[in-house]
Amino acid sequence: MNRKVKFALLAVSAAIAAIGSAPALAQAKKADAQAKEQFFPVLSYRTGVYAPNGVPFANGYVDYLKLVNARDGGINGVKITYEECEFNYATDRGVECYERLKGKGPTGATAFHTLSTGVTFAVTDKTFADKIPIITAGYGRADSADGTVFGWNFPLGGTYWTSSDMLIQHVGKLEGGLDKLKGKKIALVYHDSPYGKEPIALLQERAKNHGYDLLLLPVTHPGVEQKATWLQIRQQRPDYVFLWGWGVMNSTAIKEAVATGYPREKMYGVWWSGAEPDVTPAGDGAKGYNALVFLAPSGQGLVHKDILKHLHDKGQGTGKKEEVGEVLYNRGMTAAMMTVEAVKRAQIKYGKKPLRGEEVRWGLENLAIDNALIKKLGFEGFMRPVSTSCVDHEGGSSSSIHTWDGKRWVVQPGIYEPDMTFIKPMIRASAEKYAAEKKLTRRDCAKEAG
């Protein structure tokens, strides 16, 4: 008994000491890091059910940061430091990571890539006080494209409203015109979370105009159980299936489609449902499956050569060498690139020193990544121009379709642009509602510019 008590006391005191010293250590670090360092927080999920997708993204993101340090010696002489925080794709742990990392480095966190829509929703709330931008490249809340309400959110390159819009345009084109969609049946198989529910509003809005039937089929997390969903598809025989899945849900859906005999050619995934880990588990059955591709298709370009040369050949790379150039790896890499470019942009205004989140926001709001810059950075073919403003935090979105041929993702010809006549009013209304619930006042962009 006595030993037990002693042990417990020891454990408790050790725990208290550890908690107590953590902030102190962080403080000490802060003091000696007045050096020229820009801190990049990295939220990652290398464990859990979504790990197959989380690992390549994190590798690409970290590799690019390492590359900037190794090749260019940092951003104009300001070294990049980073710290990864594993959050297991769980919202509460993601928020904990955000709190843990937001104050690190000499000037605090540069910008967060929140990665899960759930974390995005939870953290958005905190950005107003913390003044740290959050970048949700191709995910997050669609209405956060409105920079006057969501002052700190940047859904760079696309949202779920623009993506679902482009999918509708694509199937409209296949049918020979959007008016031909009348009477057709489109099923949305979605992850039953904010992520999966985001596109519904736009698809319903479009359905009102084009007269197609929208069949909503939720799949509960993590998505390994889809028998009931696909039974409904077998019964209803929709003309198209849109897949809004993540992680194991995607490969399960494709396997179920094979079992149900639903043609994969009629299945279209969002850009998060079209990477190698999604199709390879289904084997040959995945052949013919399509997905949207936005910033980064698979493959290797000039920047990958640099990454291989400066990092992987020297044994400094993150992850396996063979995985460099996968869809999600490239997406992580472009996400890092846009953040670095935003810092570069902000350095023009504020000087070549470590920047605060507020200053980085200016860079993000004045981002101008055009074709020339894309070429210069070695991203040709992996990136489309993005140009943001204080009002428009999305910066334009365009996308094409790629198809899995059994071995590789093949990008189909044709680029789609979202029809903003549908989306703009929806963004406005939704942002308005958010502002009302949160009791926020809109930013006056004209005033800030002047």
Binding site residues, another protein, CB under 8 A = 1-2, 4-5, 8-9, 15, 18-19, 21-23, 25, 44, 46-47, 51, 55, 84-86, 88, 91-92, 95-96, 99-100, 103, 117-118, 121-122, 124-126, 129, 141-143, 192-195, 197-198, 200-201, 218, 221, 430, 434, 437-439
Q: Which is nearer to another protein, 22 or 410 (CB)?
A: 22
Provide, rounded to whole angstroms, the least separation between the CB of residue 198 and another protein: 5
Provide, rounded to whole angstroms, the least separation between the CB of residue 113 and another protein: 15
CA separation for the pair 232, 264 (Å, rounded): 16
CA separation for the pair 18, 21 (Å, rounded): 5
Provide, rounded to whole angstroms, the least separation between the CB of residue 142 and another protein: 7
Helix (H, G, I), strand (E, B) or coil at 241: strand
H helix intervals, 73-159: 91-101, 117-130
Provide, rounded to whole angstroms, the least separation between the CB of residue 69 and another protein: 17
Nearest 5°: phi and psi at 85? -130, 120
Q: Which is nearer to another protein, 129 or 372 (CB)?
A: 129
Nearest CA to 399 among 214, 265, 274?
A: 274
Residues 102 and 132: beta-carbon distance below 8 Å: yes
Residue 198 corresponds to which tokens in the numbers above?
A: 């985001």
CA separation for the pair 244, 139 (Å, rounded): 11
Q: Can you give 142-188 as a three-state secondary structure string? A: HHHHECCCCCCEECCCCCHHHHHHHHHHHHHHHHCCHHHHCCCEEEE
Q: Which is nearer to another protein, 378 or 418 (CB)?
A: 418
Residue 418 corresponds to which tokens in the numbers above?
A: 């979202």
Q: Which is nearer to another protein, 47 or 209 (CB)?
A: 47
Provide, rounded to whole angstroms, the least separation between the CB of residue 81 and another protein: 14
Provide, rounded to whole angstroms, the least separation between the CB of residue 26 and another protein: 8
Provide, rounded to whole angstroms, the least separation between the CB of residue 375 and another protein: 34
Q: Which is nearer to another protein, 22 or 415 (CB)?
A: 22
Q: Which is nearer to another protein, 108 or 363 (CB)?
A: 108
H helix intervals, 216-283: 227-236, 248-260, 276-279
Q: Which is nearer to another protein, 140 or 301 (CB)?
A: 140
Nearest 5°: phi and psi at 34? -70, 0
Provide, rounded to whole angstroms, the least separation between the CB of residue 28 and another protein: 12
Provide, rounded to whole angstroms, the least separation between the CB of residue 131 and another protein: 13
Q: Which is nearer to another protein, 222 or 381 (CB)?
A: 222
Cis peptide before 23 (omega within 30 of 0): no
Question: Any residues with CB less than 8 A from the CB of 319 and at least 6 apart, and which?
Answer: 55, 56, 59, 63, 329
Could you give the angle at the alpha carbon of 333 between the alpha carbons of 330 and 335, nearest 5°?
A: 110
Question: Any residues with CB less than 8 A from the CB of 164 and at least 6 apart, and which?
Answer: 199, 202, 203, 206, 242, 270
Q: Which is nearer to another protein, 195 or 289 (CB)?
A: 195
Provide, rounded to whole angstroms, the least separation between the CB of residue 141 and another protein: 7
- Cross-strand partners of 404: 409
Provide, rounded to whole angstroms, the least separation between the CB of residue 183 and another protein: 26
CA separation for the pair 350, 358 (Å, rounded): 11
Residues 273 and 250: beta-carbon distance below 8 Å: yes
Q: Which is nearer to another protein, 43 or 241 (CB)?
A: 43
CA separation for the pair 189, 33 (Å, rounded): 48
Q: Which is nearer to another protein, 284 or 437 (CB)?
A: 437
